[in-house]
Amino acid sequence: MKFILVFNAFLLLLFTQCITETKEQPQPKNTSKDTSQSNSVEEYQLTYQDIISDTSLNNEHFRGLFIQDNDAFIAGSKGTVMTYNFQNQTNIKDSLGFQYHFRDIHFINETLYLMSIQSPAALIIQDQNNDVRINQEEDSLAFLDGMDFWDNGEGILFGDPVDLYPYVTKLTADQKFMRAPSSKLPELALNEAGFAASGTSIDCIGNGVAYIGWGGDEVRVFKTTDYGESWTSQNTPMPKHQTGTGIYSLDFKDEMNGVAVGGNWEYPECDSSKIYTNDGGKTWLLSKGIQGYRSCVTHVTEDTYISTGTNGTDISYDGGKNWQMLDTIGFNAIQFSEITDGNINGIGVGNYGLIKLVQLKKK
């Protein structure tokens, strides 16, 4: 992991005040009486451990999180980039030397990708030779929401509409950018856009399949089956309202089975904030059990998913059909790595310097 150690001496000065301030809200209600779970699954409890005590990070909000094998990559609102190694239990903090507000981070093919939302929005790429390339959007109003990659190194970067149609750009394996033409994309409603709460409202899976979640006047999911060359859309039953309401995160177990979560960050105690599909996004159904605004969902193992938001962290053991609360502690983003001794290790990140090692332990 020589590259990680090198790039980790090159990235730490980039924080721009987070634009969303969280408020204390009442605990979310259980909006359904049917929260039964299968007796055949292993049930978990969530434990936490601090992995960094740097008080200089207390005013930084962390949303970018990516885990690959034994390494976690973390990015914040003032430009801080960190790595944590699960095996060695060590963390390294760095900076690129620029002031960027990062919302998403990925490390693939020995290349680091960092997505910034400030104006002008930018994607920063650092290759294995430590060369840094900054790709700024020409339109100063462009707002990037997230990115993801397939195993072949190709990826999708997407954001709010630019030039009156969805901003969906394919990233080739050799780091070229190709924006999808409007003729290959569904039309957006007047006030329909994406959300950059954790950079996870896009998921690239399998051979050329990807899903993107939207919100606002419509709450839909876009899907491609040809590596972003063309897209279709499907309506969902998640409540639509206005700016700030919709899908903030989605994750798929495979090409057919997935979960999406969201709501409205300004009103955390919302209902009907979780949906799921078992047919590749053709139909979406409302989940039962604990609700509330959630900014991130992640598939853990088998049919187990974890979702998290400002007022709590939940678990589903049946593919997103039913949810129960794990803890009132919430994060902006959460992701898990490998299973050790029956326990599942991960990282949770949030506002005001919140970075914790999280572990799912069998009860």
Report pLDDT digits (tens) over 314-333.
999 999 999 999 999 999 99
Q: Per-residue pLDDT for 42 more than 90?
A: no
Q: Per-residue pLDDT for 31 more than 60?
A: no
Q: Which of 22-26, 153-157, 277-281 has the lowest mean pLDDT?
A: 22-26
Q: What pLDDT score does 140 carry? A: 67
Q: Which CATH superfamily is domain 143-330 in?
A: YVTN repeat-like/Quinoprotein amine dehydrogenase (2.130.10.10)
Using an 8 Å Cβ cutoff, are 195 and 187 in contact?
no
The CA distances from residue 30 to 246, 249, 260, 292, 324, in Å, are 20, 21, 18, 9, 8
Distance CA 265, CA 284 (A): 22
Q: Are strands 288-289 and 322-327 parallel, antiparallel or unpaired?
A: parallel
Using an 8 Å Cβ cutoff, are 281 and 320 in contact?
no
Percent above pLDDT 70 for the chain: 86
Mean pLDDT value across residues 229-238: 96
Q: What pLDDT score does 116 carry? A: 94
Q: Per-residue pLDDT for 231 more than 70?
A: yes
Residue closest to 314 by CA, chosen among 239, 259, 254: 259
> pLDDT digit string (tens) for 117-145?
987 888 999 988 888 898 887 776 789 99
Q: Which two tokens stand for residue 182?
A: 């409007």
Q: Which two tokens stand for residue 358?
A: 């999280």
Q: Per-residue pLDDT for 35 more than 60?
A: no
Q: Per-residue pLDDT for 337 more than 70?
A: yes
Q: What pLDDT score does 87 carry? A: 87
Mean pLDDT value across residues 49-66: 90
Q: What pLDDT score does 103 carry? A: 96
Q: What pLDDT score does 41 carry? A: 60
Tokens 């990282």: give the residue.
347
pTM here is: 0.86
Backbone angles phi, psi at 57, to 5 degrees: -90, 0
Q: What pLDDT score does 340 carry? A: 67
* CA atoms 281, 287, 290, 293: torsion sign: positive
Q: What pLDDT score does 68 carry? A: 92
Q: Per-residue pLDDT for 98 more than 80?
A: no
Residue 22 binned pLDDT confidence (cut-offs 50, 70, 90): very low
Tokens 């914790």: give the residue.
356
Other beta carbons within 10 Å of 49: 10
Q: What pLDDT score does 18 carry? A: 32
Residue closest to 269 by CA, chosen among 237, 287, 293: 293
Mean pLDDT value across residues 8-12: 36
Q: Per-residue pLDDT for 38 more than 60?
A: no
Q: What pLDDT score does 276 carry? A: 98
Residue ranges of domains in the chain: 1-18+44-136+336-363, 143-330
Residue 51 binned pLDDT confidence (cut-offs 50, 70, 90): confident
Centroid of chain to Cα 144: 13
Residue 243 binned pLDDT confidence (cut-offs 50, 70, 90): confident
Q: What is the mean pLDDT of the chain?
A: 86
CA angle 178, 170, 19 (to 5 degrees): 105
> pLDDT digit string (tens) for 153-209?
999 999 999 888 999 999 999 889 999 999 999 988 888 999 999 999 999 999 999
Q: In the 8-state DSSP scheme, what is residue 152?
A: T
Mean pLDDT value across residues 326-346: 88
Distance CA 117, CA 122 (A): 7
Q: Per-residue pLDDT for 269 more than 90?
A: no
61 or 120, which is more confident: 61
Q: Per-residue pLDDT for 40 more than 70?
A: no
The CA distances from residue 253 to 36, 161, 260, 301, in Å, are 21, 28, 12, 8
Tokens 């605990």: give the residue.
27
Q: Per-residue pLDDT for 50 more than 50?
A: yes
